[in-house]
């Protein structure tokens, strides 16, 4: 006998998962940064995005490394490969 387990996920949880997954891409990470930048300073916006990274991951260990990547992203010169580390 095979049982099928259905898991109900509410819409808010689904949206949260989708936003977290988007932060793992260049496009999603920098788009989220720009959303925060509209209401915060650059450094606080970056710290906020880093705190939103899923699974205890971090994208940039220093603000300086983030700023360098931001310049490369603006120039469309950022590698597609993303490097993540565990906090």
- Output the 3-class SS for the chain: CCCCCCCCCCHHHHHHHHHHHHCCCHHHHHHHHHHHHCCCCHHHHHHHHHHHCHHHEECCCCHHHHHHHHHHHHCCCCCCCCCCEEC
Domain assignment of residue 1, yes or no? no
Q: How confident is the model over 14-27, as a mean pLDDT? A: 83
Domain assignment of residue 5, yes or no? no
Q: How confident is the model over 28-44, as a mean pLDDT? A: 96
Domain span holding position 45:
12-86
Question: What domain count does the chain have?
Answer: 1
Domain assignment of residue 63, yes or no? yes
pLDDT band at 5 (very low <50, low <70, confident <90, very high): low
Domain assignment of residue 2, yes or no? no
Q: Check pLDDT > 90 for residue 50.
A: yes
Q: How confident is the model over 56-84, as a mean pLDDT? A: 91
pLDDT band at 14 (very low <50, low <70, confident <90, very high): confident
Domain assignment of residue 82, yes or no? yes
For tokens 């450094």, what's the residue?
43
């Amino acid at each position: 006998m095979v049982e099928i387990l259905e898991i109900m996920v509410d819409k808010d949880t689904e949206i949260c998962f989708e936003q977290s997954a988007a932060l793992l891409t260049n496009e999603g990470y920098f788009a989220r940064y720009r959303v925060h930048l509209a209401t915060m300073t650059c450094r606080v916006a970056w710290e906020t995005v880093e705190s939103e990274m899923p699974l205890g991951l971090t994208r940039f260990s220093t603000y300086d490394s983030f700023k360098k990547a931001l310049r490369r992203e603006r120039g469309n010169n950022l590698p597609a490969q993303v490097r993540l580390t565990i906090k």
